[in-house]
């Protein structure tokens, strides 16, 4: 099959979280199964800098061409490179005014959110690029709300453009908390037929909701874990869009993400102090010692060290973790945390660090190499997420021999088997139910007790390291999803 991915993020060119990891990995594994893959991305400043740092530049894919958005003409440069470690062509839609910005999701020069405008441009430019390249994908696979216009063009525009007649659409929901909501008066920017504005297509709660439009229009939809697919259809999990997801129930499925073992693998990772694998964990000691040095912890202290990495948003529940820091550190636990996001949480991290010197270390910022060092160097990794569509960090920590302590939600529930005192043959980590500081602290303290029973802990570590979270398994499920999308393409639902 010919499959084109459309996304705002893709590792290593542009990433704020797991979306980038997924789009940078899945296409490689699909290509390895014999499919014809391509990825289309905006040429963000971050991507341009990635090339500059390596003293290289993507090649020109086609002659520059014009794309119109609501009467405004843009000239597009379509650039081409390969997804590192593969032969998958990655096409960059270059337009400095719209994408040459300090961060991927930054607003325009007045600080305004012009996401509707620039991602409309992105999709139109990518589709025009495909046509100029002589491509006509069997499936256009869109990720989250940014390329939402693509499934909408497929469903509601085909009478105008026969090119779409054979193109099926798949939408992956990585996080329904982000929907791309704009005033309904901005609908004309999309350039869709007027009738689409109403009748429950893209309108939701009196506003224009891009993700909703894509959920209505896509031939098939998937969430990034089976549990999240079910949670999306509930009032708590659907962020208002549960009704539309329920009504499309037969077209919705859940596929657990994989991890890219070329990047996240303790036996080859070049960002950690020493390599190791399940058969010989000695290298972990050096990783732990390095972590202690970087964090300013006493390396000879055998006490339990907890790590956390992630975006600081209420989704991740780091406020719960921060509120337990005084108690946990009093009980001999040391904690290292890396994250950036909400200023209030960044501020609490800094404050706690100054109050709990030598026991709580806060790294405020984004640091790829720091994330690897934490995964390999701490004793356990904590994710107290309020909701977690899939979560990749807990799978990285399983692969790194660092048992995760997670809340039972979304993909965390699907990937971590909690130790209950009896299931030593299968337990891979620790799982708690309530999104409360109390439940989190109880789970961490239980893990701390188990940690000092070296034999028990060793079993949990090796069970975790034996798990197969490779993309090969999930890539096969995506193949089935694509086939289904082609079968149901254009059929009423």
Determine which residue in the list 3, 18, 28, 81 makes contact with ligand ADP, applying CB under 6 A. 18
Determine which residue in the list 392, 398, 440, 481 makes contact with ligand ADP, applying CB under 6 A. 392
Under the binding rule (CB under 6 A), the answer on residue 340 touching ligand ADP is: yes
> Burial code of 399-416, b = ≥16 C-beta within 10 A, e = fewer?
bbbbbbbbbbbbbbbbbb
* Span of 51-59, 230-238, 266-274, 333-341 interacting with ligand ADP by CB under 6 A: 333-341
Residue 492: CB minimum distance to ligand GLC, A: 30
Residue 461: CB minimum distance to ligand GLC, A: 23
Determine which residue in the list 214, 252, 255, 309 makes contact with ligand ADP, applying CB under 6 A. 309
CB atoms closer than 10 angstroms to residue 205: 9
Under the binding rule (CB under 6 A), the answer on residue 415 touching ligand GLC is: no
* Closer to ligand ADP by Cβ: residue 257 or 356: 257
Residue 484: CB minimum distance to ligand GLC, A: 20
The one of ligand ADP, ligand GLC, none whose footprint includes residue 339, by CB under 5 to 8 A per kind, is ligand ADP
Under the binding rule (CB under 6 A), the answer on residue 393 touching ligand ADP is: yes
Q: Give the N- to C-terminal CA distance of the chain in Å, as an integer.
A: 24
Determine which residue in the list 139, 168, 217, 224 makes contact with ligand GLC, applying CB under 6 A. 224
Residue 493: CB minimum distance to ligand GLC, A: 25
Under the binding rule (CB under 6 A), the answer on residue 368 touching ligand ADP is: yes
Q: How far apart are CA 15 and CA 9, in angstroms?
A: 5
Under the binding rule (CB under 6 A), the answer on residue 391 touching ligand GLC is: yes
Tell me if residue 253 falls in helix, strand or coil: strand
Q: How far apart are CA 485 and CA 488, in angstroms?
A: 5
| Count of positions on this chain that bind ligand ADP (CB under 6 A) | 18
Under the binding rule (CB under 6 A), the answer on residue 18 touching ligand GLC is: yes
Please list every residue from 161 through 200 that binds ligand GLC, using CB under 6 A: 174-175
Under the binding rule (CB under 6 A), the answer on residue 27 touching ligand GLC is: no
Give CA angle at 347 (341, 351), nearest 5°. Answer: 145
Radius of gyration of the chain from Cα atoms?
23
Residue owning tokens 């149901």 = 488
Longest dimension (CA), the chain: 70
The one of ligand GLC, ligand ADP, none whose footprint includes residue 420, by CB under 5 to 8 A per kind, is none
Tell me if residue 145 falls in helix, strand or coil: coil
Residue 375: CB minimum distance to ligand GLC, A: 15
Are the C-beta atoms of 209 and 181 separated by less than 8 Å? Answer: yes
Closest-CB residue for ligand ADP? 18
List the one residue out of 38, 225, 41 whose CA is nearest residue 140: 38
The one of ligand GLC, ligand ADP, none whose footprint includes residue 224, by CB under 5 to 8 A per kind, is ligand GLC
Determine which residue in the list 100, 230, 311, 386 makes contact with ligand ADP, applying CB under 6 A. 311
CB atoms closer than 10 angstroms to residue 121: 26
* Closer to ligand ADP by Cβ: residue 190 or 295: 295
Q: How far apart are CA 73 and CA 293, in angstroms?
A: 54
Residue 412: CB minimum distance to ligand GLC, A: 8
Give CA angle at 366 (236, 285), nearest 5°. Answer: 100
Under the binding rule (CB under 6 A), the answer on residue 474 touching ligand ADP is: no
Residue 175: CB minimum distance to ligand GLC, A: 4
Under the binding rule (CB under 6 A), the answer on residue 241 touching ligand GLC is: no
Which 8-state DSSP code applies to residue 58?
P
E strands, 384-434, in order = 404-407, 430-432
Query: What are the φ/ψ torsions at residue 199 (nearest 5 degrees)?
Result: 70, 30
Helix axes 149-156, 210-217, angle to 10 degrees: 40
* Closer to ligand GLC by Cβ: residue 19 or 405: 19
Are the C-beta atoms of 374 and 346 separated by less than 8 Å? Answer: no
Under the binding rule (CB under 6 A), the answer on residue 427 touching ligand ADP is: no
Q: How far apart are CA 277 and CA 11, in angstroms?
A: 25
**What residues make contact with ligand GLC under the rule CB under 6 A?**
17-19, 22, 174-175, 224, 257, 388-392, 411
């Amino acid at each position: 099959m010919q499959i084109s991915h459309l996304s705002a993020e893709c590792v290593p060119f542009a990433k704020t979280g797991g979306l980038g990891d997924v789009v940078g990995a899945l296409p490689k594994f699909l290509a390895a199964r014999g499919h014809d893959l391509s990825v289309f991305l905006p040429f963000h400043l971050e991507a341009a800098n990635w090339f500059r740092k390596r003293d290289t530049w993507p090649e020109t894919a086609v002659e520059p061409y014009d794309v119109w958005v609501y009467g405004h003409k843009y000239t597009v440069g379509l650039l081409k490179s390969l997804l590192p470690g593969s032969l998958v062509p990655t096409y960059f839609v270059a337009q400095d005014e719209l994408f040459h910005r300090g961060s991927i999701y930054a607003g325009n020069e007045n600080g305004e959110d012009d996401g509707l405008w620039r991602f409309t441009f992105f999709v139109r430019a990518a589709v025009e690029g495909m046509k100029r390249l002589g491509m006509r994908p069997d499936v256009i696979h869109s990720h989250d709300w940014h390329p939402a216009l693509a499934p909408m063009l497929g469903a509601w525009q085909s009478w105008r453009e026969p090119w779409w007649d054979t193109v099926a659409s798949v939408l992956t929901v990585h996080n329904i908390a982000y929907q791309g909501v704009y005033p309904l008066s901005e609908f004309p920017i999309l350039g869709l037929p007027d009738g689409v504005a109403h009748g429950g297509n893209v309108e939701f709660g009196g506003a224009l909701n891009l993700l909703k439009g894509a959920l209505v229009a896509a031939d098939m939809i998937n969430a990034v874990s089976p549990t999240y697919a079910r949670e999306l259809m509930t009032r708590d999990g659907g962020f208002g869009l549960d009704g539309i997801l329920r009504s499309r129930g037969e077209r919705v499925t859940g596929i657990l993400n994989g991890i890219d073992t070329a990047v996240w693998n303790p036996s080859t990772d070049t960002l950690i102090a020493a390599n190791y694998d399940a058969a010989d964990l000695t290298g972990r000691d050096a990783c732990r010692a390095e972590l202690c040095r970087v964090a300013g912890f006493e390396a000879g202290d055998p006490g339990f060290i907890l790590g956390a990495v992630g975006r600081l948003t209420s989704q991740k529940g780091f406020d719960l973790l921060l509120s337990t820091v005084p108690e946990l550190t009093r009980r001999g636990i040391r904690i290292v945390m890396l994250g950036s996001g909400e200023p209030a949480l960044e501020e609490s991290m800094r404050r706690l660090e100054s109050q709990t010197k030598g026991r709580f270390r806060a790294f405020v910022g984004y640091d790829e190499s720091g994330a690897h060092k934490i995964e390999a160097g701490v004793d356990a990794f904590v994710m107290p997420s309020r909701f977690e569509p899939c979560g990749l960090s807990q799978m990285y920590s399983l692969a790194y021999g660092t048992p995760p302590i997670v809340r039972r939600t979304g993909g965390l529930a699907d990937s971590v088997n909690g130790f209950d005192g009896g299931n030593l043959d299968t337990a891979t980590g620790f799982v708690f139910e309530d999104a409360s500081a109390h439940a989190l602290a109880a789970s961490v303290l239980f893990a701390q007790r188990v940690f000092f029973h070296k034999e028990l802990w060793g079993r949990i570590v090796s069970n975790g390291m034996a798990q197969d979270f490779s993309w090969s398994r999930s890539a096969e499920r995506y193949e089935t999803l694509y086939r289904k999308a082609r079968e149901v393409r254009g059929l009423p639902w």
